[in-house]
Every structure is written in C-alpha cells, then in structure tokens.
A = this chain, B = another copy of it.
Amino acid sequence: MADPHVVIIGGGFGGLQAARALRGAPVRITLVDRRNHHLFQPLLYQVATAALTAPDIAAPIRKILRKQKNVRVILASAQRIDAESRRVELDDGHLDYDYLVVAAGATHSYFGHDEWRPFAPGLKTLGEALEIRRRVLLAYEAAEREPDPALRARCLTFVVIGGGPTGVELAGALAEIAHHTMARNFRSFDPNDARVLLLEGGPRVLGAFDERLSAKAQAALQKLRVEVRTGVMVTRIDADGVEVAGERVAARTVLWGAGVRGVPLGATLGAPLDRGGRVIVEPDLSVPGHPEVFVIGDLAAVKDGERMVPGVAPAAIQGGAQAAKAIRASLGGRPRPAFRYRDKGSLATIGRSAAVAQIGRFRFSGYLAWLAWLLVHIMTLVGFRNRVAVLLDWAFQWFTWQRGARVVLENPPVEGPPRP
C-alpha cells in the first residue's frame, strides 16, 4: 500500500516548515505553489525600495527541498478545495490527498474599495515589489521632465497608507531615498523637496507594539522628515492622489499597507471564516469536521489565550510544525497536541540605525534594536547565498547611502507560448 499522500498548498514559511517537519515520515508529500520561489517577505519592502534585488530574498522551493526524498514540488495554482472528496482542484488538473495543509497566506484588503487597488498597490509578492520600485523611480524621472511646479510637486509626493510595520518600513525607506540616495541626481529640482506621508487610521503607528515604542517609531520617522498623520481615514484614492480627513493630497505614488485578508481559497473549504476572511480552526489547527485538513499561517484564525495569533512568520513556522506533528500523531495512532503559540517578539525598523523591538518583557529601540533586527533577519533568511548577498547589499548601502537596485525592469513581452 502506498504511503498516505500529504498535499501542502503554499511554499511560504508555514508550508515549507510543514514539509521539512515531515522529513523521514512515512508519507508522500506534494507541495504546490503558484510561484517557483519561497519568498522572505519581511524584507520585501527593501526590494520595493531598490535596496535589495529580487533574487536576494527568494530561493527556488524545489531547490530548498531537493534532498528530502518524500517531497515532490509542483508549480500550479490551487483553485478550490473539495474537502468532502479530499481533492484540490488546480488550474490544470487536481490532487487527491489523505492529509491537506493549507498555507496559502493572505492578500490585500481594500476594505470594500477594490477600485483603489490599481492606484495603491500593496506589497506581498516580488511582482508587486518590482511594480512599486518602478513607480517610485519613475516618479522622480517624471518630475525631472515636468515644467509645471504643481505637477512636479505631485510627482514628488509619496503617500503610504497604513502605519503597521510594512508601512513604517516603506515610509522610512522612501524618505531615505529622497534625502540621500537621489542627491545630485537631478537638474530641475532638489530631491530633498520630496514629501513622504504616512497615514494611519488608528491612534498611533505600530499599534501592535508597546505605546512607548510607537512614540519612538513616530519620532524616528519625523526625524527622517516623514509626515505622520494618525487617526485619519482615507476616503478616496484615484489617479490624482488621495483624499484624507476631507483634504485632497495630490500624489503620483500611493502605496497600500493598511489591510490584509485571507486568500479566497480559504472560503472554498466551507468552514466558518472570521471577518478577515481567515479560516477559524480547531485548537490543533485542523478544520472543524475535517481532522485531515489543517490551515496554518496568515490564513488561519486561531486564539492564543485571549489574543489572536498574529500573522507573522514565526506563527506560520510554528503552525507548519504543528500540522506535521498532528499528522505524525495520527499516523502513529496517538492523540494530537494542541497548538501553542510562542511569541518570539516583534521588531520593526525605521531606516538607518533606527528600530523598535519588543521581545518578552524587554522593550528597546534605537541602534541596539536595529542591530537585533539585522541579526534576526540575516539569520532567518533561507540559503547561504542569500545571506551573503543581502549582507553585501546592506554594507554597500551603509557606506555609500546608495541603493544597489535602482533599476526599472521593463515588463517582459506578454506574447508568446502559453505559460504552464
């Protein structure tokens, strides 16, 4: 009899960990992903802001898992899960499973305003990061050629919506680009005049952090000349800019970091979802009524005591380990453990040498937090080559104030043979 078939949807932190934790187990694993690479999302904003190259933070999933004999990796897009017949429908074909681990992650939520999406791209994939990079760099190019001062000011206004870690990191990087990277590069304006606005609906930036750290982060942003506005709602985004708290801000470049929700694939399970489109799972992360299906990572809604487990990489990794443990327990006829989330702390960086950190009972900020941020990110990157490349790019940036990836990549031609 063939070993049970475990299908894992998604090669992010959660899916990869689930596969690895099943190493040597008597199962056949198929890992499906729409993309050929695992992406280190915490550094994606640095690709968007031209500090890192795309391959710096990505590695082929099949290469990562090449030595694990019980895993097969396929490139395909999971469209629908039929939990009753234990089948995953792909864009082209299907997979039948004995166990399923759904680690398909989250996508952007525009809070019912999907018409904002083209004007305010979010940051989840390498394609989106390169699109943001393109828009940021081309805004400066357009400003160089714009004779009308008002239109030039619009080219040089960058609005970031959402004051979470991604928004804070993007805004800090955009300010450094304006005030340092672009120095002396233009003849018809001073890049120092560029404006970066960070808009947050809640009362403070980094709302998930301690209040004192939020204040530190805001001060660090203001030192970089980011205009931080908290407690303001964006009511309109269009080709001209944004409307915020009743005021029009003319801006060529608007970036979205305000909300995420579970990917639509989650809804096809038929299980209850929370308001953020995430699947409400059992304490062992399985789907109610389907002990053979697990949902982990950003797509899962699970409680840690009174709080929800946050959508961060360590939670996804722990979820992957949990799913693997539960599958091994079932195979061995043992009872499954419940999922216990271990908070590894939170870190966010705000440009050169500034960061905030909250680890256990410790709160710190400034240079030390920035060093911690740097160490944690280098150590958790997948692959030796990526680590060295990222370190090199950071060292270059540190010493020269330049950014190594200031390159607008054209769209490849869309014609041609069909894509698999």
Query: What residue in chain B is nearest A50 (Cβ atoms)?
Result: B55
Q: Does A389 contact B (CB under 8 A)?
A: yes
Contacts of A135 in B (CB 8 A): 416-417
Contact with B along A38-62 (1 / 0, CB 8 A): 0000000000000001111011101
Among A37, A59, A388, A416, chain B packs the most CB atoms within 10 A around the CB of A416
| A406 with B144: CB separation less than 8 A | no
- CA of A73 to CA of B418 in the docked complex: distance in angstroms? 38
Residues on the B chain within 8 Å of A35, using CB: 408, 410
A187 and B68 alpha carbons, distance in the complex (Å): 11
Distance in Å from the Cβ of A176 to the closest Cβ of chain B?
15
Q: Is the pair B75, A413 in contact by a Cβ cutoff of 8 Å?
A: no
- Tell whether, in the assembled complex, residue B409 and residue A63 are in contact, meaning their CB atoms are under 8 Å apart: no
Contacts A121-B416, A419-B138; is A396 near B404 (CB within 8 Å)? no
A125 in contact (CB, < 8 A) = yes
Quick one: given A138-B420, A392-B392, A396-B385, are A144 and B408 in contact (CB under 8 Å)?
no
CB distance from A101 to the nearest CB of B (A): 19
Is A126's beta carbon under 8 Å from chain B? Answer: yes
Which of A137, A188, A406 has the most C-beta atoms of chain B within 10 angstroms of its own C-beta?
Answer: A406
| CB nearest neighbor in B for A93 | B145
Q: In the complex the two chains form, is A412's CB within 8 Å of B127's CB?
A: yes
Contact B36 A184 (CB under 8 A): no
Cα A186 to Cα B410 in complex, Å, equals: 31
In whole Å, how far is A70's beta carbon from the nearest beta carbon of chain B?
10
Distance of A125 from chain B, by nearest CB (Å): 6
Q: Is the CB of B411 within 8 A of A145?
A: no
A409-B127 CB under 8 A given contacts A36-B141, A67-B184, A420-B141: yes
Seen from chain A, the residues whose Cβ lies within 8 Å of a Cβ on chain B are 35-37, 53-56, 58-60, 62-63, 66-67, 72-76, 93, 117-119, 121, 125-128, 130-131, 134-135, 137-138, 141-142, 144-145, 184-188, 239, 252, 385, 388-389, 392-393, 396, 400, 402, 404-420
27 CB < 8 A contacts A-B = A35-B408, A36-B137, A36-B407, A36-B408, A37-B407, A53-B54, A53-B55, A55-B405, A58-B407, A63-B185, A63-B402, A75-B144, A93-B145, A117-B415, A118-B415, A125-B410, A126-B407, A126-B409, A127-B409, A128-B413, A131-B416, A134-B412, A239-B417, A239-B418, A252-B417, A392-B392, A411-B414
Closest 8 CB pairs of A and B: A127-B410, A131-B412, A142-B420, A55-B405, A53-B53, A75-B141, A118-B415, A118-B416
